[in-house]
Amino acid sequence: MSELYYQSLSELTLALQSKALSVTEVVTVCLNRIKTLEPKLGALLTLNEEAALQEAQALDAAGPDKSKPLWGVPVTIKDIILTKGLKTTCASKMLANFVPPYDAFVTEKIRQSGAIILGKANLDEFAMGSTTENSSFHPAHNPWNLNCVPGGSSGGSAVAVASGECFASLGTDTGGSIRQPAALCGCVGLKPTYGRVSRYGVIAYGSSLDQVGPMARSVEDVARVLQVIAGHDGRDATSDTRPVPDYLAQLKSLPSLDGVRLGIPKEFFGEGLSPDVSNLCHQALKACEEDGAILVPVSLPHTHAAIATYYIIAMAEASSNLARYDGVRYGYRSQETSDLQELYVNSRTEGLGQEVKRRIMLGAFVLSSGYYDAYFRRAAQVRRIIRDEYVAALNECDALFCPVSPLTAWPIGSHADDPLAMYLMDAYTLSLNLAGLPGLSLPVGLSSEGLPVGMQLIGQAFVEEELLKIGYRLEQILPSIGHPQI
Ligand code: GLN
């Protein structure tokens, strides 16, 4: 049996429900793991130690509750998701001392499921970035190689899960922020369909793109967490009313990939993909074929326009969403001011980081009169084309299967001065957000340098259960990558 902190959710839940393990024991193991590893990893921004231990003792005193699917399970939550009474900073100086007066919908659901929140996970400031280096507090380190980035923006969540600090985490994905760090850290991450999970209480970045989703160490664990957080919520106007399927019921129903049609978008396998990633992706595709899958070549011809389209839309929405941080209502307030205008300017200048300011300025530019038609409207039109291409490709197959990141985790600091190079890293993830579709990222192997490589399954809107089913089967046929030696 693996170490306690690397157990699967089903193993852990069985042990907790049968009282073979107490919640306090499990929580203590994770807290000790956190204390040993955090000086090296930097995955967390706030530790919830005292409350977590108190909750654990209360659960132990009350006894196991089978109606609570995550009863006693230690989890972490990306620090952009509101947690009542527990600091939520977005990794920004602007919100460094912000303690939310209410829970996000997903936090409510996580608490109701019996899970225990151990802490808040590090991220790129306001979820803007692909490495967690844009955190205003400290970067997070990849547990497979501490000199490398863990990906981002939900890098802290991926690190905490991959290193056994917790059993699952909630991330958010605006252009890849769940799938890419999951891939770079060797765990599983799901970006659900836009509207499947409520964003009530999730601090907004790009409102037409943002989605909350689970990160864990296996497809089954991800399915268990999705079951808890999916569902309608009247407080988010984009929350969908479709009933939530039973994700676990069918999870293991594919005895093989026999007859499963996997669409391979040719634009995702061309120039820019590193040889290591390309080799492992091709090996995974071969394993799928040997298991009976039919590989269907498909094309998403406007993939080349996705980065520009995404960054115009995301920055435009960010510039509008972040207008609320004015130094007046909440958050950081500059002391160096003589009038109201200066209060706004100085509070934002001092409270927001460089990347966030860059995006606010570019976003305001593409929305400004005279440029709106040339940039924002154009991007909205191209977005529609990209979405239609996905829908057409998905009509020819059961799911698309493609890489997540063109490279394995790269050294911390190597792209620090080149924001454009960083935006290009998102080439394979962000078009999915433009299309609003679900994507499941899972590990397919380790590179020659021992770094994880992930691939993503992309499906039709609101059929997460299909992706989970195929993903579960893939896990059976692909070699396990094990855990980082940390
Ligand atoms: N890297 C992308 C960006 O910086 C995606 C981030 C995200 O999904 N939150 O916008």
Q: Which of 130, 157, 177, 319 is catalytic?
A: 177
User: What pLDDT is recorded for position 420?
Assistant: 85
Q: Mean pLDDT in the chain?
A: 97
pTM of this prediction? 0.98
pLDDT > 70 in the chain, percent: 100
**Nearest CA among 188, 143, 147, 179 for reference residue 37:** 143
- 267 Cβ inside 6 Å of ligand 1: no
pLDDT digits (tens, 9 = 90+) for 22-77: 999 999 999 999 999 999 999 999 999 999 999 999 999 999 999 999 999 999 99
Exactly one of 130, 153, 157, 163 is catalytic; name it.
Answer: 153
Contact (Cβ atoms closer than 8 angstroms) between residue 115 and residue 9: no
For a ligand 1 pocket test, name from 125, 174, 362 the mutation site with the most ligand atoms within 8 angstroms of its C-beta.
174
Report whether residue 108 contacts ligand 1, using a CB cutoff of 6 Å: no
Q: What confidence tier does 407 reach under pLDDT thresholds 50, 70, 90?
A: very high
pLDDT band at 150 (very low <50, low <70, confident <90, very high): very high
Selection from 28, 5, 24 nearest residue 160 by Cα: 5
**What pLDDT is recorded for position 379?**
98
Q: Which two tokens stand for residue 239?
A: 């929350």
DSSP 177-231: TTHHHHHHHT-EEEEPPTTTS--TTB--SSTTT--EEEEESSHHHHHHHHHHH-S
Q: What is the distance in A from the centroid of ligand 1 to the CA of 144?
A: 22
Supply the pLDDT for residue 117: 98
Q: How far is the CA of 464 from the centre of ligand 1 (A)?
A: 22
* pLDDT > 90? residue 408: yes
The secondary structure element, H or E, covering residue 30 is helix 23-41
Specify the pLDDT at position 418: 86
The H helix count followed by the E strand count for the chain is 15, 11
Based on the number of CB atoms within 10 Å of its own CB, is 347 exposed (0-12), middle (13-18) or buried (19 or more)? buried
Q: Residue 216's pLDDT is what? A: 98
Give the confidence band of 415 by pLDDT, cuts at 50, 70, 90.
confident
How much is the pLDDT for 467?
98
Q: Is 132 in the pocket of ligand 1 (CB under 6 A)?
A: no
Q: Give the atom of ligand 1 at the shortest distance from the alpha carbon of 310.
A: 10
**For the residues 7-16, what does the mean pLDDT come to?**
97
Split at pLDDT 50, 70, 90, the class of 272 is confident
User: Is the pLDDT score of 2 beyond 80?
Assistant: no
Cα–Cα dist 445/455, whole Å: 10
Given this model, what pLDDT does residue 288 score? 98
pLDDT tens column, 291-350: 999 999 999 999 999 999 999 999 999 999 999 999 998 899 999 899 999 999 999 999
Best mutation site among 153, 428, 431 for ligand 1 pocket (most ligand atoms within 8 Å of CB): 153
Indicate the domain borders of the chain: 4-260+459-477
Report the share of the chain in percent with pLDDT over 90: 96
Gap between the Cα atoms of 442 and 474, Å rounded:
9
Q: Residue 95's pLDDT is what? A: 98
Please report the pLDDT score of residue 421 as a whole number.
83
**What's the CA-to-centroid distance between 18 and ligand 1, angstroms?**
41
pLDDT at position 250 over 60: yes
Closest-lying ligand 1 atom to the alpha carbon of residue 130: 1
pLDDT band at 146 (very low <50, low <70, confident <90, very high): very high
Q: What pLDDT score was predicted for residue 274?
A: 93
Predicted local distance difference test score (pLDDT) of residue 360: 98
The token pair at 483 is 């855990």
212 CB near ligand 1 (under 6 Å): no
pLDDT single digits (tens) 77-124: 999 999 999 999 999 999 999 999 999 999 999 999 999 999 999 999
Q: Is the CB of 168 under 6 A from ligand 1?
A: no
Q: How confident is the model at residue 271 (pLDDT cuts 50, 70, 90)?
A: confident
Give the CATH number of domain 4-260+459-477. Answer: 3.90.1300.10
Q: Is the peptide bond before 153 cis (omega within 30 degrees of 0)?
A: yes
For the cut 90, the answer to whether the pLDDT of residue 1 exceeds it is no
Q: State the closest ligand 1 atom to the C-alpha of 209, by its place in the atom list counted from 1.
A: 8
pLDDT tens, position by position, 179-193: 999 999 999 999 999
153 is catalytic: yes
